[in-house]
Amino acid sequence: MDLAQLTRDLEALVEETRAALAAAPDTAAVEALEVEVLGKKGRLTIVLRGIGQLPAEERPLVGAVANRVRGAIEGEIGARRTELGAAELESRLRAETTDVTTPGRPIRRGSLHPSIEAMAEIARIFGQFGFVVYESPEIEDDEHNFQMLNIPPDHPARDLWDTLYVDVPGHLLRTHTSPGQIHVMRTVKPPIRALLPGRCFRYEAIDASHGTEFFQVEGLMVDEGTTLGDLRGLLDEFAHAMFGAGKKTRFRPGYYPFTEPSVAFDVECLVCGGPGCPACKRTGWMTILGAGMVHPVVLRHGGLDPERYQGFAFGMGPERISMLRHRIHDLRLFLENDLRFLGQFR
Partner 1 sequence: MRVPLSWLAELVELELTPEELADRLTMLGMEVQAIERRGTDWSDVVVGELLAVEPHPRADRLSLTKVTIGHGAPLQIVCGATNIAAGQRVPVALPGAVLPGGRRIERAEKMGVTSEGMLCSGDELGLTADADGILILDGETQLGRPLAELYGDTVLDVDVKPNRGDALSIVGIAREVAASTGAEVRLPATEVEDDGAPVEGLVAVEVEDPQLCTRFVGRHVGGVTIGPSPDDVQMRLIAAGVRPVSNVVDASNYVMIELGKPIHTFDAAAVGRAAAGRARIVVRTARPGERIETLDHVVRELHPDTLLIADPGGPIGIAGVMGGAASEVSETTTDVIIESAVFDPVSIRRTAFHYGLRSEASLRFEKGQEQRLARLGADRTARLIHEWAGGSVARGRVDTNPDEPAPRTVAFRPARVDRLLGTNLGSETQRDLLRRVGISTEAEARPVTIPVAAGSAPEAVEAPAGDAVVATIPTWRRDIEIEADIAEEVARIHGYEAVPGRLPSTPMPGWRPSPLALREAVREALVGAGVTEAVTYALVSPRLVADFAWSVNPPPATGEGAREGGPITVTNPLSADHAILRHSLVGSLTQVVAGNVRHGRDDVAVFEVGKGYGRVADETVEWWRLGLALTGAFEPAAWNRPARPADVDDAKGLIELVAGVIGAGRPTYMALTDEPILHPGRSALASASDRAGRLALSGVVGELHPRLIEAWDLRVPRLIVAELSVAGLGGGGLPSVEFEAVSRFPAVERDLAVVVDEAVPAADVESAIREAGGENLRSVVLFDLYRGRPLADDERSLAFRLRFEAPDRTLTEVEVEEAIATISGALGHRVGGRIRA
List binders of partner 1 among 192-221 (CB under 8 A).
192-193, 197, 199, 201, 203-206, 212-213, 221
Please report how close the Cβ of residue 278 comes to Zn ion at its closest, in angstroms: 7
CA quadruple 291, 162, 187, 198: dihedral sign:
negative
**Which of partner 1, Zn ion, none does 269 bind, CB closer than 5 to 8 A by kind?**
Zn ion
**Which of Zn ion, partner 1, none does 271 bind, CB closer than 5 to 8 A by kind?**
Zn ion
**Which of Zn ion, partner 1, none does 280 bind, CB closer than 5 to 8 A by kind?**
Zn ion
Taking CB under 8 A as the rule, does residue 309 contact partner 1?
no
Among 228, 272, 328, 342, binds Zn ion (CB under 5 A): 272
293 CB contacts (<8 Å, ≥6 apart)?
A: 227, 228, 231, 259, 260, 261, 310, 311, 312
Q: Rounded CA gap, 264 and 283, in Å?
A: 14
Please report how close the Cβ of residue 245 comes to partner 1 at its closest, in angstroms: 15
Among 145, 177, 178, 262, binds partner 1 (CB under 8 A): 262
- Minimum CB distance to partner 1 smaller for 87 or for 188: 188
Q: Under DSSP, is residue 40 helix (H, G, I), strand (E, B) or coil?
A: coil
Write the DSSP assignment of 68-102 as a string of letters. Answer: HHHHHHHHHHHHHHHHHHHHHHHHHHHHT---TTS
- Choose one: 6-14, 40-48, 268-276, 334-342; the region binding Zn ion (CB under 5 A): 268-276
Taking CB under 8 A as the rule, does residue 142 contact partner 1?
no
Q: Rounded CA gap, 234 and 237, in Å?
A: 5
Among 277, 328, 335, 342, binds Zn ion (CB under 5 A): 277
Q: Under DSSP, is residue 250 helix (H, G, I), strand (E, B) or coil?
A: strand
Enumerate residues 240-259 that contact partner 1 by CB under 8 A.
250-255, 257
- Minimum CB distance to Zn ion smaller for 34 or for 266: 266
Provide φ and ψ at 221, rounded to 5°.
-135, 120
- Minimum CB distance to partner 1 smaller for 83 or for 230: 230
Q: What is the CA radius of gyration of the chain?
A: 43
